[in-house]
A and B are shown apart, each in its own frame.
Chain A
């Protein structure tokens, strides 16, 4: 069965520091992978997606993620965090094709210290 694990429930970083949010997935075929961000009172906004090809994908707001098949991981990174990045981040895996259903991780809440 498909599943997504985000091991870190809550992370705090200082503004300007680098960030890495972890995501591990379980899926039998080539996965379709997504990172979404949710700001307070808002819906989910797509940061980036991986379908195939280059395993390092660039997204909006300076985020990037790297697909590592051997580790079943799709970690999200940012070299320098801004206070406005404080939000909850969700990793998701999709089955693509006809149903395009998404399985979400439980989320990582990011706090940014001045």
Chain B
């Protein structure tokens, strides 16, 4: 089983709909992150969390919200989806000790029509 699991893997929806992307991890890591990937732009950080009581905005948080339901679960919501939120979304985790590398899920491909 994957250490970092994202659901769904693919989603097509319409403008204005509410969408939730889910991420769960079995690595026991405290830190979790949400990124979006767009062609030619690399990965950009949306939100990150260090524990269930800690939520921080990344560089592109507008239009998104998150929930850290447990150490192992971190959800990303689009309250009212718009077409320019069409992208590939990644969840990542890392250990709390120093500058550890981040471990990524396989991504959710989201298309908003």
Chain B interface: which of A14-22, A36-44, A64-72, A75-83? A36-44
Contact A42 B106 (CB under 8 A): yes
The answer to whether B31 and A100 touch across the interface, beta carbons within 8 angstroms, is yes
Interface centre among B4, B42, B92 (most CB of A within 10 A): B42
Mark each residue of chain B from 53 to 94: 1 if its CB lies under 8 Å from any CB of chain A, else 0.
Answer: 000101000000000000000000000000000000010101
Write out, one digit per residue, whether chain A residues 87-112 have a CB within 8 A of any chain B CB (1) or not (0): 00010001111011110111100000
Q: A34-B101, A46-B101 are in contact. Are A101 and B48 (CB under 8 A)?
A: yes
Q: Are A43 and B105 in contact (CB under 8 A)?
A: yes
Output the least CB separation between A85 and chain B (Å): 19
- Report, as a range, how many residues of chain A touch the other chain: 20 to 34
A63: Cβ under 8 A from any B Cβ: no
Check if B42 sits within 8 Å of A100, measured CB to CB.
Answer: no
In the complex the two chains form, what is the Cα distance from A100 to B105 in whole Å? 18
Rounded to whole angstroms, the CA-CA distance of A41 and B106 in the bound complex is 7
Does A44 contact B48, Cβ atoms closer than 8 Å? no
Residue among A32, A42, A51, A104 with most chain B CB within 10 A: A104
Of A100, A102, A105, A107, which is in contact with the most chain B CB atoms at under 10 Å from its CB? A100
Once bound together, how far apart are the Cα atoms of A107 and B88, in whole Å?
14
Complex alpha-carbon distance, A43 and B2, angstroms: 11
- A70→B31 CA distance, assembly (Å): 32
Residues of B with C-beta under 8 A to A34: 101
Whether A96 lies near B106 (C-beta < 8 A) is no
List B contacts of A101 (CB < 8 A): 45, 48, 58
Contact with B along A1-24 (1 / 0, CB 8 A): 000100001000000000000000
B42:A90 contact, CB within 8 angstroms: yes
A106 near B40 (CB under 8 angstroms)?
yes
Do the beta carbons of A44 and B90 come within 8 Å of each other? Answer: yes
B43 contacts partner chain A, Cβ-Cβ < 8 Å: yes
Q: Which 5 A-B pairs have the closest CB atoms?
A: A96-B99, A43-B104, A104-B42, A32-B99, A44-B104
